[in-house]
Amino acid sequence: MNKKLKSVLQSRELLVLFLLFILIISTGLFNSNFLKANSIIEIFNTSLTLMLIAVGEMFVIITRGIDVSVAAITGLSAVVLGTTLNMGWPIALALLATIATGILAGAVNAVGVTFLKVPPIIMTLGTLGIYRGLMRIIAGGSWIERLPQNIKNPNIWRFLDIPFFVWLSIAIVIVTSIISFKYKKARYLYAVGDNANGAFLLGIPVKLSLFSAYTLAGLFSALAAIVYTSQIGFISMNAADGFELKAIAACVLGGVGLMGGVGTAIGAAIGALFLTAVRSMLVFLGIPGILDNAFAGAILLLVVYIDYRVRKSLEYKQIQARAQSEDSTNTGVNQ
Supply angle C-alpha 59, 64, 68, rounded to 5: 65
Exposure b/e, 1-33, CB count within 10 A at least 16 = b: eeeeeeeebebbbebbeebbeebbeebbeeeee
Q: What is the pTM of this model?
A: 0.87
Q: 54-109: per-residue pLDDT in tens? A: 999 999 999 999 999 999 999 999 999 999 999 999 999 999 999 999 999 999 99
One-letter amino acid of 118:
V
Domain chopping of the chain, boundaries: 3-327
Give the contacts of 308 (CB within 8 A, at least 6 positions apart): none
* CB proximity list for 244: less than 8 A, separation 6 or greater: 53, 57, 67, 68, 69, 70, 71, 72, 128
Taking the CA atoms of residue 41, residue 225, residue 278 and residue 60 in that order, the dihedral angle to the nearest 10 degrees is 120
Residues 6 or more apart whose CB falls under 8 angstroms from that of 33 comprise: 39, 284
Which is it for the CA torsion 117, 216, 81, 235, positive or negative? Answer: negative
Amino acid at 335: Q
Question: CA-to-CA distance for 184 and 196, rounded, in angstroms?
Answer: 16
pLDDT for 26 equals: 87
Per-residue pLDDT of the chain (335 residues; tens, 9 = 90+): 455 545 544 577 787 888 888 888 888 888 888 888 888 889 899 999 999 999 999 999 999 999 999 999 999 999 999 999 999 999 999 999 999 999 999 999 999 999 999 999 999 999 999 999 999 999 888 888 889 988 888 888 888 888 999 999 999 999 999 998 888 888 899 999 888 888 888 889 999 999 999 999 999 999 999 999 999 988 988 888 889 989 998 998 888 888 888 889 999 999 999 989 888 888 887 777 677 777 777 777 776 777 677 667 766 776 776 777 666 665 655 55
d(Cα 93, Cα 4) in Å, to the nearest integer?
Answer: 49
Hey, what amino acid is at 323? A
Report how far residue 144's alpha carbon sits from residue 190's, in angstroms, rounded to the nearest whole number: 39
Q: What are phi and psi of 114, to 5 degrees?
A: -80, -45
CATH of 3-327, one of 1.10.10, 3.40.390, 3.40.50, 1.10.3470: 1.10.3470
Instruction: Report whether 180 contacts 64 (CB < 8 A).
Output: no
The answer to whether 158 and 164 have CB atoms below 8 angstroms apart is: yes
Position 112 scores a pLDDT of 96
Identify any residues that bridge with 158 across adjacent strands, giving them in sequence order: 163
Residue 50 CA to residue 246 CA, distance in Å, equals 7
CA 310 from centroid of its chain's CA atoms = 24
* Positions of E strands within the chain: 158-159, 162-163
